[in-house]
Amino acid sequence: MFTGIVTDLGKVRSVTRQPGGEVRFEIATAYPAEAIPIGASVAHNGVCLTVVERGPGWFAVFASLETLDKTTLGSWKAGAPVNLERPLKVGDELGGHIVSGHVDGVGTVDSIRPEGESKRFLIAVPESLRKFIAPKGSVAVDGVSLTVNEVEGARFGVNIIPHTLAVTTFGHYRPGDRVNLEIDMLARYVARLLDKD
């Protein structure tokens, strides 16, 4: 489990396609890699992946075909910035909201405009996720816990402060970029309970 509070802006060091179609990513990080156990979970742009190897200043993970198909990871190239978050420990501060690291869909940055010192991002969501996004609710965008400011049909707005722009991938986005979305866990279960099928 995670909280959507990014603790390192890492970078893709290398991308190696495997014979079966899976991909091995090496990720450069400011984390002390020797302190990350093999088999540990780390969220990468909101996607929970398992550490399989490590070295000074880097670690490696594999992404399955399912992960590559359902997230933005299939388009990663060497040099791409990556939001990283280590898993939550019992007793840690819950600064964001509960995030599982299981992406529900891929959205698109529709527009970006200045709003004071911050920037307002409008993000388009797949129709299947539209009902889960509510004003003042929580959503994880590329692993970043955010509060929804407004909802307009299949788009929602979020305000990104200068600090978040500086320490996450949000400072690199342009309109048209694709982002991983994880809906609020509570919204998912409420919708399931109300489902008549």
> Is the pLDDT assigned to residue 80 strictly greater than 90?
yes
pLDDT-based confidence at residue 184 (cuts at 50, 70, 90)? confident
Question: Which domains are seen in the chain, by residue range?
Answer: 8-85 (2.40.30.20), 105-194 (2.40.30.20)
Pairs from 14-20 (Cβ < 8 Å, separation ≥ 24): 14/78, 15/76, 15/77, 15/78, 18/62, 20/65
pTM of the model: 0.92
Given this model, what pLDDT does residue 190 score? 72
Query: Whose CA is closest to 140, among 175, 176, 186, 195?
Result: 186
Q: How far is residue 174's CA from residue 108's CA, in Å, rounded to a whole number? A: 10
Q: What is the pLDDT of residue 88?
A: 81
* Mean pLDDT along residues 141-168: 96
Residues 175, 123: Cα–Cα separation, whole Å: 9
Whether the CB-CB separation of 95 and 60 falls below 8 Å is answered with no
Collapsed DSSP state (helix, strand, coil) of residue 114: strand
Is the pLDDT assigned to residue 191 strictly greater than 80?
A: no
Q: Is the pLDDT of residue 196 over 90?
A: no
Q: Where are the beta strands (DSSP E) in the chain?
A: 8-17, 23-28, 41-44, 47-55, 58-63, 81-85, 105-115, 118-124, 138-141, 144-147, 150-152, 155-160, 178-183
